Structure 1
Amino acid sequence: MFLVGALATLATVLPLFLGTHPLPWEFYWMSMLMGAGFLIAGSGVVRSVVAQRRQSEAVTAPSPSAPPAG
């Protein structure tokens, strides 16, 4: 999704530098996919961090069924 948005953004900016006619409005809407893809990727990273943190805490926490030390 990010890649499609990045390509659409590049396609909408190129006519400004080449002096050609701007592309149709659909390309401007497609360029918004870059931000949406970035948000999806960022939320995946956050979910991964939370899952790893929970797994790490589960490994280091004492088991409730273990007999008390001492």
Structure 2
Amino acid sequence: MNEKTAADPADVLVRVGGYVFGFGALATLVTFVPLFFDFDRFPTFAYWLCMLMPGGFLVSLVGLLLSARAQRRRVRERAAAAQGGAAQEA
């Protein structure tokens, strides 16, 4: 499988976290509308949807950390393989 087309689980977490964050940000904007236009207040459930914003941020952050860790591991493996190959040639 091509390394560029393979979907890394960490990349999927970043993407999903971004969507959840965006949905939470939209919910936050919508819940502020009644404050500015003197509408009836939304039910409590709408305000709980705003908590998706930090949740999405957390999911994306975990994905970024996992991706960085995997990238470091791949670099170490390549460096070890290059050193092993150089030792065998000598």
In 2, the alpha carbon distance for the partners of 1:22 and 1:4 equals 20
How many residue pairs were aligned? 68
Long gaps (5+) in structure 2:
1-19
Structure 1 gaps, min length 5:
none
User: Which is greater in Rg?
Assistant: 1
Q: Which residue of 1 aligns with 2:31?
A: 12
TM-score norm. by structure 1 comes to 0.82
Percent identity reads: 43
| Consecutive aligned runs of 4 or more in structure 1 exceeding 2 Å deviation | 66-69
**What is the CA–CA distance in structure 2 between the aligned matches of 1:59 and 1:23, rounded to whole Å?**
55
CA distance in 1, matches of 2:42, 2:74: 49
**Deviation for aligned residue 1:68:** 8.2
What TM-score do you get using the length of structure 2 for normalisation? Answer: 0.66
Greater helix share, structure number: 2
Distance across 2 between alignment mates of 1:36 and 1:58: 33
Q: CA deviation at 1:20?
A: 1.8
